[in-house]
């Protein structure tokens, strides 16, 4: 459509459908009112139309409503109100003494606003868009004030705000969880720079804020990458924009910024009345002007949907000892089974971004010396960035813009579950990010206490594959799956153990494996779930799935069986782990059930529902309800 035709359409429909444009407050009617404009600046109109002072508008995530601050109380106090985008009766969200201003509407239905109760420093509060659940979000100290603006990011889960140090009179930017948990974190700290009015782009990738630096005679705009908080660029507005910036907002396409700033060519005697609305591209070019008045126009916010950046869940899938990522996760097993890849393709509404880690196979002779710790190094590089076991730079899922500041879900199959557990216990927090990086860990057919039988025979007391020696606890076994729990014939350890194989599981689990026999006298069982939730509110949720009835001859199941050393037991002993038996896994023979476990539809259902719900389903039947089976 030609620009002229598009303009005519918008001219007729702006105040009904909302072509690209913004809301702002203006004092051109003798009092502050909420106005709306298109991006040409030609079509402007009052959508408040009342005798009160209305300021600081923002638009709802679906664009149909506007939230604003209004002095409708006879006492002169201000509250937070909403109205339809095209005007109409206002709906009260907050009331009572004190002043409330600068509301921002998050994608999760929360509205955050600055509150100044009588006798308190300004702080940020949140309220649900239906007017319920008001709560205090920030708690500034006696010499602090949270009055410099704020905005939501990460689909409303987080908030960025400007806090003023009253002793230095300088603002810095902080971030906090929007549910009120945790402690705010300072993300900028420059003794010579004052930062206010943070605004996050609609795609969640950029943060813009106003900066005032010592020695400079005019305000500037600084852009940051959201999550890393690395500066992108600074923008200085050209004339006729003057020295003071009073508001920022990204346009609908996030390629430009609305800016309210002092205009040098306005003849008003009061500098405050010189505020006008300007447009500038995020690369600093394309400067333009939307309003020209001799009264204040300020605090612009785009009429733009906020549902195009629903937060997605990154999931790292870690394969086992013998097969790589493709046969484990992306191809079916025996006839009648499926794959995780096919399941995700059949259920596109799931908010899951899958990452299939390809580890060097331990069955390849060139990798015989590779340890499970090496796998854990690759897992760390895939999640946190940095270098993997081969000296190559890892994927760094949590360094990607869309996942910065968040966590991954970790899904490990067979030995991949042990490599993942090793990462959780020994590596997580020691890498580039220095924090808990996993929200849920789902173990599929995990040899949580080792393997035994023919898998630990070796040849003349020698087993070339180091990871197999670790899974066998460095100890030779006889080929007899009917062994019962109890004392074993001592047939020795592998002749080429390097020193840690016999203690690998003792270290990983926090107690000797041999004491697992029939689950008697296990010391410190909670050590099998390090950094776990619920003991640690921000910790890892452990979900452990295995075949029912000990049908898995490789790793066992709910009870110890087929190994007098007590190793073949997939159950996680920790009271903080959720253990779930999966029935109906197809296959026969030594590896049939074990191999098909990750291809079994109920296994996939339970895993996917755990990921999206952040808790295990009640049973596998419930888990499969509502999912499309490939």
Residues 241 and 260 in one domain: yes
Question: Is 214 part of any domain?
Answer: yes
pLDDT in tens, 451-479: 988 888 888 889 999 999 999 999 888 77
Residue 418 pLDDT exceeds 60: yes
Residue-level pLDDT at 308 = 42
* 441: CATH: 3.40.50.1820
* 221: CATH: 2.120.10.30
Q: By mean pLDDT, which of 81-85, 113-117, 199-203, 229-233 is the weakest?
A: 229-233
Highest mean pLDDT among 244-253, 308-317, 508-517: 244-253
Residues 156 and 224 in one domain: yes
What separation in angstroms does the CA of 309 have from each of 108, 153, 202, 290, 350? 12, 10, 7, 28, 14
The answer to whether 106 touches 156, Cβ cutoff 8 Å, is yes
Residues 175 and 207 in one domain: yes
Question: Is 183 part of any domain?
Answer: yes
The DSSP string of 203-271 is TS-EEEEEEEETT-SS-EEEEEETTT--EEEEE-PPTTEEEEEEEEEE-TTSSEEEEEEEETT---SSG
Residue 19 pLDDT exceeds 70: no
Cα 603 from Cα 612, distance rounded (Å): 15
* Residue range(s) defining the domain that contains residue 34: 23-302
| Mean pLDDT value across residues 296-308 | 84
Residues 283 and 360 in one domain: no
The phi, psi pair for 382, rounded to 5°, reads -70, -35
Residues 162 and 286 in one domain: yes
Question: Of 272, 302, 332, which marks where a domain is finished?
Answer: 302
Residues 126 and 197 in one domain: yes
Residues 154 and 68 in one domain: yes
| pTM recorded for the entire structure | 0.59
pLDDT in tens, 533-545: 888 888 999 999 9
Question: Is 90 part of any domain?
Answer: yes
| Residue 332 in tokens | 């079916």
Helices (H) and strands (E) in the chain, counts: 10, 31
Residues 202 and 331 in one domain: no
Tell me the percentage of the chain whose pLDDT exceeds 90.
Answer: 62
Question: Of 250, 283, 302, which marks where a domain is finished?
Answer: 302
pLDDT in tens, 3-13: 334 333 344 44
| Residue 471 in tokens | 């899974």
Q: What's 82-133 look like in SS3? A: EEECCCCCCEECCCCCCEEEEEEECCCCEEEEEEECCCCCCEEEEEECCCCC
Residues 287 and 399 in one domain: no
Residue-level pLDDT at 590 = 65
Residue 115 pLDDT exceeds 60: yes
Residue 194 pLDDT exceeds 70: yes
Residues 274 and 333 in one domain: no
Residue-level pLDDT at 548 = 95
Residues 341 and 439 in one domain: yes
Question: Of 277, 302, 327, which marks where a domain is finished?
Answer: 302
**Count of the separate structural domains present in the chain:** 2
The separation between CA 325 and the C-alpha centre of its own chain, rounded to angstroms, equals 24
Residue-level pLDDT at 216 = 81
Question: Is 462 part of any domain?
Answer: no
Residue 276 pLDDT exceeds 80: yes
| Residue 150 in tokens | 């704020």
Question: Is 457 part of any domain?
Answer: no
Residue 510 pLDDT exceeds 60: yes
């Amino acid at each position: 459509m030609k620009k002229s035709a598009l303009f005519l359409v918008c001219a007729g429909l702006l105040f009904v459908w909302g072509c690209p444009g913004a809301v702002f407050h203006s004092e051109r009617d003798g009092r502050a009112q909420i106005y709306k404009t298109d991006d040409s600046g030609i079509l402007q109109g009052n959508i408040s139309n009342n005798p009160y002072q209305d300021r600081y508008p923002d638009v709802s995530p679906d664009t149909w409503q506007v939230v604003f601050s209004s002095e409708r109380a006879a006492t002169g106090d201000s509250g937070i109100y909403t109205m339809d985008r095209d005007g109409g009766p206002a709906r009260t969200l907050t009331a009572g003494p004190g002043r409330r201003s600068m509301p921002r509407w998050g994608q999760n239905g929360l509205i955050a606003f600055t509150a100044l109760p009588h006798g308190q420093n300004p702080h940020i509060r949140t309220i649900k868009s239906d007017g319920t659940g008001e709560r205090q979000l920030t708690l500034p100290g006696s010499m602090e004030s949270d009055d410099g603006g704020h905005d939501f990011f990460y689909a409303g889960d987080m908030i960025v705000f400007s806090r003023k140090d009253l002793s230095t009179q300088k603002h810095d930017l902080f971030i906090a969880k929007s549910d009120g948990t945790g402690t705010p974190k300072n993300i900028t700290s420059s003794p010579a720079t004052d930062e206010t009015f943070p605004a996050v782009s609609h795609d969640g990738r950029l943060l813009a804020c106003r900066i005032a630096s010592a020695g400079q005679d005019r305000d500037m705009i600084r852009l940051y990458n959201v999550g890393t908080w690395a500066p992108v660029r600074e923008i200085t507005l050209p004339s006729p924009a003057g020295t003071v910036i009073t508001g920022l907002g990204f346009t609908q396409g996030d390629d430009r910024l609305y800016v309210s700033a002092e205009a040098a060519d306005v003849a008003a005697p009061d500098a405050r009345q010189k505020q006008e609305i300007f447009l500038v591209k995020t690369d600093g070019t394309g400067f333009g002007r939307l309003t020209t008045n001799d009264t204040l126009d300020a605090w612009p916010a785009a009429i733009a949907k906020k549902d195009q950046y629903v937060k997605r869940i990154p999931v790292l899938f870690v394969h086992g000892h013998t097969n790589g990522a493709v046969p484990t996760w992306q191809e079916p097993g025996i006839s009648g089974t499926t794959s995780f890849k096919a399941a995700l393709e059949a259920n596109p509404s799931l908010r899951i971004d899958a990452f299939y880690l390809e580890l060097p196979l331990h069955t390849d002779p060139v990798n015989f010396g590779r340890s499970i710790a090496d796998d854990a190094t690759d897992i760390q590089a895939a999640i946190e960035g940095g270098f993997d076991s081969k000296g190559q730079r890892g994927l760094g899922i949590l360094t990607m813009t869309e996942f910065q500041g968040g966590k991954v879900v970790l899904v490990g199959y067979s030995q991949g579950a042990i490599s993942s557990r090793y990462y959780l216990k020994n590596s997580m927090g020691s890498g580039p990010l220095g924090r808990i990086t996993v929200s849920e860990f789902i173990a599929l057919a995990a040899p949580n206490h080792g393997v035994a039988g023919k898998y630990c025979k070796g040849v003349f007391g020698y087993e070339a594959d180091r990871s197999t020696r670790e899974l066998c606890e460095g100890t030779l076994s006889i080929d007899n799956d009917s062994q019962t729990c109890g004392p074993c014939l001592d047939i020795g350890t592998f002749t080429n153990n390097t020193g840690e194989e016999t203690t690998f599981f003792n270290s990983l689990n926090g107690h000797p494996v041999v004491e697992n026999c029939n689950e008697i006298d296990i010391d410190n069982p909670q050590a099998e779930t390090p950094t776990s939730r619920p003991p640690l509110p921000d910790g890892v949720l452990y979900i452990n799935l295995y075949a029912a009835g000990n049908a898995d001859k490789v790793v066992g199941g709910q009870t110890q069986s087929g190994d007098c050393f007590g190793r073949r037991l997939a159950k996680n002993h920790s009271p903080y782990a959720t253990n779930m038996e999966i029935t109906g896994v197809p296959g026969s023979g030594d590896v049939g059930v074990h191999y098909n476990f990750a291809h079994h539809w109920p296994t996939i259902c339970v895993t996917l529902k755990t990921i999206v719900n952040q808790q295990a389903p009640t049973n596998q039947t419930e888990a499969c309800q509502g999912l499309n089976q490939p």
